Amino acid sequence: MTTPADPDASAGRSGATPKGRAARTAPRATTPRLATHRDTGVVAMPHPRGAVRYERNCSSPRSGRAARSGGASTFVADHTPTGTECAEPPPEYGRARPQRAVSVHEPGDLIVAIPAMLGFVPQRSLVVLVLRRAQQNEAARVDAVVRFDLDGEGGQRIRAGTLASHVIRICAQADAAEVLMVVVDDRADGSDLAGRATRDGAAGTRGADRRFAALVAAVARRVGAHDVELGGAWAVGAIAPQQRWWSLSDANQGGTLPDPATSVVTLSHVLDGRLIRASRADLAAMVACDDELAATMPPRLDRAFAASKQRYTEAARQGNPDNHSRQALEHLLWQIANVESGVELMPVEIAEIAVALRDRSIRDAAFGLAIGDHAVAAEQLWVVLTRALPGADRAEAATLLAYSAYVRGDGSLAGIALEAALTAMATHSIAVLLDTSLRLGMRPDQIRRLALSGRRIADALGVDLGPVAG
């Protein structure tokens, strides 16, 4: 794959691997199924071991209503001020549908479960939990978790109407009957517990407390007009042990948070191998460009392109140009297996993969990995490429990462990756389409056709991407 003159050439590596090698050698992916939506806006993540259900304790002011629960995965969405994200139920992906739900009974327990459901600890955010409408003789479940930044650029505050329109769209898709809201903001202290927001408006709170109570009340009125009820609204300065939480709709309700690390939802995520990051910024750092490395890549990319062009010319001369694409795709699978086994790719290998992805048949086939047994390993490779590559090549890798995250329901990562892709190349057609899909709240299963098309392309090249997960 490299010429002797290339100082980065790795010794003893063949240019292609046997058909299906990655499928035989790479272990089965273990990342949980997820649903998704945009992060420049949204994050959608179902609970990996079952639904998250909120069953009101008997002491709750609303205990007269039957507990609502369910047995399917929860979806999470994350919205920044410039984006619009939605949450939806995940497609059948990876393993069989979980049989048990994880239940929480108190508002404090629900609040400390939010970081696990989002994948990071929210700050200065409004988190909306959407409860799916119960079927006859069935309980409802938390179907979606959507995060909104409370402040935009320059300190601009989120408007209730804008927020409500996003929530209403999500509720319509989820057939929701009820929403729960949690404000997380260090500027709030709940100092005036005698007056809180109600469904009819905000009572005598002041400062940040009054602002958040009014915001919740305004959103509740708007979603109520669409037959979606506000089931509860709470606020907390930070999601941390012993932090005080209070109700925005019931002056008599409040308490202190347990340790989020001991939450049953958190434990389920940790046991499933999912990371919970300290902030959204930590998640964004995953795809931040390594400027020093990226600056060294153009000459490596030029050499890799020249070598690829030479191989294509030779294949065309032999009357079999598809052989070039087939070998490049097989090599991609081999490198995915390397990444999965812990091998750190050399810059020259990153350049070779980037050039291979410039071949549209290879790029399109790579989308098929998102629904296969090796989706997790492929996603790790896309992260490596996104961090290392400049320009259009970075956009290509970030788009593959975004699609993989979208399909499995990680809306936060999908949105952040799309932001990286569109910053690198604003006209990238697939990134634009995925970004639009996230903003419109399309379900992951609605974009699954792109992966299925990619697998057909791989089949036509004679390359086995391995079985479809689930």
Indicate the domain borders of the chain.
21-29+286-461, 52-273
- Interatomic CA distance for residues 8 and 1, integer angstroms: 11
Handedness of CA 261, 265, 271, 276 (dihedral sign): negative
Cβ-proximal residues to 210 (8 Å cutoff; 6+ apart), any chain: 192, 202, 204
Q: Are 276 and 266 in contact (CB under 8 A)?
A: yes
Q: Are 257 and 242 in contact (CB under 8 A)?
A: yes
Question: Could you give the angle at the alpha carbon of 225 between the alpha carbons of 221 and 230, nearest 5°?
Answer: 50
- Rg of the chain over Cα atoms, rounded to whole angstroms, equals 24
- Interatomic CA distance for residues 175 and 3, integer angstroms: 59
- pLDDT by residue for the chain (470 residues), tens digit each? 333 333 333 333 333 333 333 433 333 332 222 222 233 333 333 333 345 655 555 333 333 232 222 333 344 445 443 333 333 333 332 333 334 556 777 889 889 989 888 888 999 999 998 887 666 666 557 777 788 888 876 667 778 888 888 888 777 766 777 889 999 999 887 765 444 444 444 443 446 778 888 888 888 888 888 888 888 899 999 999 999 999 987 777 899 999 988 887 777 776 665 677 888 888 899 999 999 999 999 999 999 999 999 999 999 998 888 899 999 999 999 999 999 999 999 999 999 999 999 999 999 999 999 999 899 999 999 999 999 999 999 999 999 999 999 998 777 789 899 999 999 999 999 999 999 888 766 778 889 999 999 999 999 999 999 888 86
At what angle are helices 391-408 and 347-356 packed, to 10 degrees?
A: 80
Handedness of CA 187, 188, 189, 195 (dihedral sign): positive
The structure tokens listed for 182 are 């949690």
**Could you tell me which of 439, 452, 444 has the C-alpha nearest to residue 162?**
439
- How many residues appear in the chain? 470
CA 468 to chain centre: 20
Q: Are 1 and 331 in contact (CB under 8 A)?
A: yes
Handedness of CA 100, 101, 105, 110 (dihedral sign): positive
- Classify 330 in phi/psi space as left (phi over 0), alpha (psi -120 to 50) or beta: alpha
Task: Provide the 10 A C-beta neighbour count for residue 144.
Answer: 35
pTM: 0.71
- Interatomic CA distance for residues 353 and 93, integer angstroms: 27
Cβ-proximal residues to 392 (8 Å cutoff; 6+ apart), any chain: 424, 425, 428
Beta-strand ranges (E) seen in 176-294 are 176-184, 229-236, 244-247, 254-256
Q: Are 57 and 99 in contact (CB under 8 A)?
A: no
HSE (side-chain half, CA atoms, 13 Å) at 154: 2
Q: Phi/psi at 72 (nearest 5 deg)?
A: -120, 180
DSSP 236: E
Go through 173-198 and write b for each residue having 16 or more CB atoms within 10 A of its CB, e for each that does not: bbebbbbbbbbbbeebebebeeebbb
Pairing of strands 125-132, 142-149: antiparallel
